[in-house]
Amino acid sequence: MTVRLAVAQCAPALGAMKRNLEMHLRTIERAREAGARLVVFPELSLTGYYVKDLANDLACAADDDVLAPLAKAARGIDVVAGFIERSPDARIHIASGYWSEGRIAHVHRKVYPPTYGIFDDGRYFARGERFDVFPSVLGPTGIAICEDAWHMSTPYLYAVRGAHVLLYVAASPGRGVAEGGDLGTAESCRLMDTFYAQYLTMYVVFVNRVGHEDGIAFWGGSEVVAPDGTVAARAKEFEEDLLVAEIDPLLASRERARNPLLRDERHDVVLRHLAERVGLPPGLKEVLD
Which sequence positions are flagged as catalytic?
Answer: 43, 110, 146
Least gap, CB of 197 to another protein (angstroms): 27
Tell me which of 4, 30, 91, 175 binds another protein, using CB under 8 A.
175
Tell me which of 177, 257, 261, 270 binds another protein, using CB under 8 A.
177
The angle subtended at Cα 64 by Cα 115 and Cα 149, nearest 5°, is 30
Beta bridge partners of 211: 218
For the segment 97-126, give every residue that binds another protein (CB under 8 A). 117-118
Q: Quick one: which segment of 64-72, 129-137, 177-185, 190-198 binds another protein (CB under 8 A)? A: 177-185
Choose between 180 and 283: whose C-beta lies nearer to another protein.
Answer: 180
CB 227 within 8 A of CB 255: yes
Choose between 160 and 217: whose C-beta lies nearer to another protein.
Answer: 217
Least gap, CB of 275 to another protein (angstroms): 36
Beta bridge partners of 246: 4
Least gap, CB of 170 to another protein (angstroms): 16
- Give the dihedral sign, CA 72/7/220/169: positive
CB 207 within 8 A of CB 40: yes
Measure the CA–CA gap between 55 and 11, rounded to whole angstroms: 18
Q: Is 90 in the site for another protein (CB under 8 A)?
A: no
Tell me which of 1, 65, 76, 178 binds another protein, using CB under 8 A.
178
Choose between 51 and 79: whose C-beta lies nearer to another protein.
Answer: 51
**What x/- string results for residues 201 through 220 when contact with another protein is judged by CB under 8 A?**
-------------xxxx---
Q: Which residues of 240-264 are buried (b: 16+ CB within 10 A; e: fewer)?
A: bbbbbbebbbebbeebbeeeeebee
Applying CB under 8 A, what is the total number of residues that bind another protein?
A: 15
Q: Residue 111 CA to chain centroid, in angstroms?
A: 12
Give all strands of the β-sheet with 223-225 in edge-to-edge order: 134-136, 139-145, 165-169, 203-207, 223-225, 231-234
Residue numbers at the binding site for another protein (CB under 8 A): 56-57, 117-118, 173, 175-179, 184, 214-217
